[in-house]
Structure 1
Amino acid sequence: MKYTIYLLRHGQTWFNKYNRMQGWSDTPLTPEGVAVAQKAAQKLQDVAFDAAFSSDARRAIDTCEIITAANCNQANLQPTKLTNFREQFYGYFEGMFSDEAWYLTLFPHGYKTFNAAGQQVGLDQTKDWMKEADPFNDAENATEYWDRLQAGFNYLDEIAFDGAKILLVSHGTTIKSLAERFGNGSFKITKGPANSSLTTLVRDNGQNVVTDYAQVLA
């Protein structure tokens, strides 16, 4: 069985605007975030999605509803929440100014920024280091993170069919992590995907391949 997942990042939120850590915490879409999601919806309106999912974060749910409301197959779509495709959980660092959180996490290992560390050691290592730096040990490490996502893909395998087109509204670091792991080195992943940008992932008999990364639709 082979099907395509249309991975869309949610629209801009207030924490995005203020550059704060936003994993399992949540803030609403800004007016600009609604507008950019509406533009993406127009670009995707002729893609007849067979199913539509989002994480359970309000920002993803709202974006998914905007996309499906404009879709040519809207009458047959029922947006559904999947907790498996939440953003990475940042634990103690949730809500903190992003540059500060990553500096505290990465400086003991010789890095000052998330992008620099990601390029040098990979995103999974930054996940492990953040859990290590969390005084409560609540942040997800790479193993916890990928186990959660794999359970989500297993569920999609159960409901998908050959040739299906599935909309999945998720989050920046999650989409970036998927592109790093399953992009076969095809993409220069220096920054996260823009709000409401599109990444496509083909799942072929249980194997993932990211075929396009962070296509800007607005």
Structure 2
Amino acid sequence: MKKILRKTLLTSTLIITTTLLASCTQHSSKTTNNNTDGDITIYFARHGKTLFNTYDLVQGWADSPLTEQGIELAHYLGEGFKDIQFDAYYTSDAGRQRETMQELLKQKGVKDYKICELKGLREVFFGGFEGGPNTKMVYASMKLAGYNSIDAFYKNYQAGNLPIDIMINSIAKTDPKHQAENYQQVKARTQTALKTIVQNAQNSHEKNILAISSGMSMQAMISDLTDNKDKNKPLSNAAVVKIIYKNGQYTISEIGNMEYVNKGRAALKE
């Protein structure tokens, strides 16, 4: 049974890495067709705070609902996005991402929409660490990443001194079940999802796209698209990564931006 389960999980990971796994030919019931100059702007936001986040549990493909604070963050983000007209909306199939998008759009006042799901936008699959304490995963992987203390590990991660590829690969190599995704797998599937979003936007003449994803998968997605050291810093709940696509090139113009949340919070508290 264990061998069958392991084979199934590894096969699922391979499929997500190499195929699209979701088809969205129409993203919203109203398309503005305003992409006249070829540039496409994608606002990626991390989901709101969840139950597992609150309990400091590993949350990759495992899922948990938003807390009241997480819903509040989604509302702040929606309010902060009110001046932006989005043409399409994306999440993975994770409940926390769906719920964040739904709460955000409720606050933004968007009623007529369709959310397109791409499994490539899932968080990293952490294998045997899923659902367990984050500290256990850190202790297991930090020495392989070159750290002898958990304080030094977190200090360097917060400062952006720990490359995301080293972090993800260290977790994968120390996974007791040997099922966790490695960096190349995560980067491949998230960048495939990004390319799909761009291709769909070009086909439908869309300009502004909103996508909800998860922290480490977003870091992996932009890891080789920018030299900005902030790409290695952990992303807060509801933090925004802004990607501009033009003439075949990606520009990462914002990483971990909380100004949309802050703007929405200020407006709702007036």
TM-score by length of 1: 0.88
Pairwise CA distance, 1:183: 3.1
Pairwise CA distance, 1:69: 2.7
What letter is aligned with 2:217? T
Mapping 1:30-45, distance limit 5 Å = 30-45=67-82
Q: 1:122 maps to what in 2?
A: 163
What letter is aligned with 2:251? V
Q: Cα deviation per residue 1:96-153 (whole Å; 9 max; x = unaligned)? A: 2112211101224431435636844511122222221113221111111111112212
What letter is aligned with 1:85? L
Cα distance change, pair 58–163 in 1 and its aligned pair in 2 (3 A): closer
Say yes or no: does 1:17 pair with 2:59: no
Equivalent-residue separation in structure 2 for 1:174 and 1:133 (angstroms): 19
Gaps in structure 2 of 5+ consecutive residues: 1-37, 263-270
Of residues 221, 229, 244, the one that matches 1:202 is: 244
Verify the 8 A CA contact 1:5 1:168 in the aligned structure 2: yes
What letter is aligned with 2:71? V
Q: Cα deviation per residue 1:150-200 (whole Å; 9 max; x = unaligned)? A: 221232132103661000001111233345432322x53564222112221
SS in 2 for 1:87: coil
Q: 1:131 maps to what in 2?
A: 172
Mapping 1:50-129, distance limit 5 Å = 50-71=87-108, 74-111=110-147, 112=150, 113=153, 116=156, 119-129=160-170
Q: 1:167 maps to what in 2?
A: 210
Pairwise CA distance, 1:54: 0.8
Verify the 8 A CA contact 1:52 1:68 in the aligned structure 2: no
Identity %: 26
Equivalent-residue separation in structure 1 for 2:82 and 2:221 (angstroms): 25
Verify the 8 A CA contact 1:115 1:190 in the aligned structure 2: no
Larger Rg: 2
After superposition, the CA RMSD in angstroms is 2.2
Equivalent-residue separation in structure 2 for 1:92 and 1:170 (angstroms): 22
Q: 1:214 maps to what in 2?
A: 256
Gaps in structure 1 of 5+ consecutive residues: none
Verify the 8 A CA contact 1:180 1:189 in the aligned structure 2: yes
Equivalent-residue separation in structure 2 for 1:31 and 1:160 (angstroms): 33
Cα distance change, pair 134–77 in 1 and its aligned pair in 2 (3 A): same
Say yes or no: does 1:155 pair with 2:206: no
SS in 2 for 1:160: helix
Verify the 8 A CA contact 2:145 2:167 in the aligned structure 1: no
Q: Which sits farther off after the overlay, 28-37 or 62-71?
A: 62-71
Cα distance change, pair 108–215 in 1 and its aligned pair in 2 (3 A): closer
Q: Cα deviation per residue 1:56-94 (whole Å; 9 max; x = unaligned)? A: 11010011112223436x355211211111111111111
Cα distance change, pair 127–206 in 1 and its aligned pair in 2 (3 A): farther
